[in-house]
């Protein structure tokens, strides 16, 4: 799996692994475990999921636009699109590190 080959700290690799397996503790996953009462995103009041929080929320979309538009990075904005992009661009280590670090900071 490309995640384990990424040149990023191990905690980011684990975070990415949880991301693609939909195991991050977002509000929808916390609701399944009965730790929260609703799934509303605290930033935009939409239903919070992994893809919403990291790709579709207005806050996440703005971050992606600000960071990646100037450098011409073009990926499908969801966890599987990101993995597909990494697989096609495995020689672009700096770009992969940038994407992984941006996800971690969200």
Domain residue extents for the chain: 7-105
- pLDDT of 20 > 80? The answer is yes
Say what the pTM is.
Answer: 0.68
pLDDT of residue 57: 93
pLDDT of residue 40: 94
Residue carrying structure tokens 């693609």? 20
Average pLDDT value for residue range 28-43: 93
> Strand ranges (DSSP E) for the chain?
none
pLDDT in tens, 42-94: 999 999 999 899 888 999 888 888 877 766 666 666 666 666 666 676 656 66
pLDDT of residue 90: 62
Instruction: Determine the Cα–Cα distance for residues 33 and 88; give it in Å rounded to an integer.
Output: 36
Instruction: Determine the Cα–Cα distance for residues 15 and 22; give it in Å rounded to an integer.
Output: 10
């Amino acid at each position: 799996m490309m995640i384990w080959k990424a040149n990023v700290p191990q905690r980011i690799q684990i975070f990415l692994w949880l991301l693609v397996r939909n195991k991050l503790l977002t509000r929808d996953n916390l609701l399944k475990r009965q730790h929260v009462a609703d799934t509303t995103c605290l930033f935009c009041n939409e239903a919070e999921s992994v893809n919403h929080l990291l790709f579709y929320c207005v806050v996440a979309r703005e971050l992606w636009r600000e960071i990646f538009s100037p450098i011409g990075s073009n990926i499908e904005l969801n966890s599987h699109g990101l993995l597909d992009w990494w697989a096609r661009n495995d020689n672009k280590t700096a770009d992969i590190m940038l994407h992984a670090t941006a996800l971690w900071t969200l």
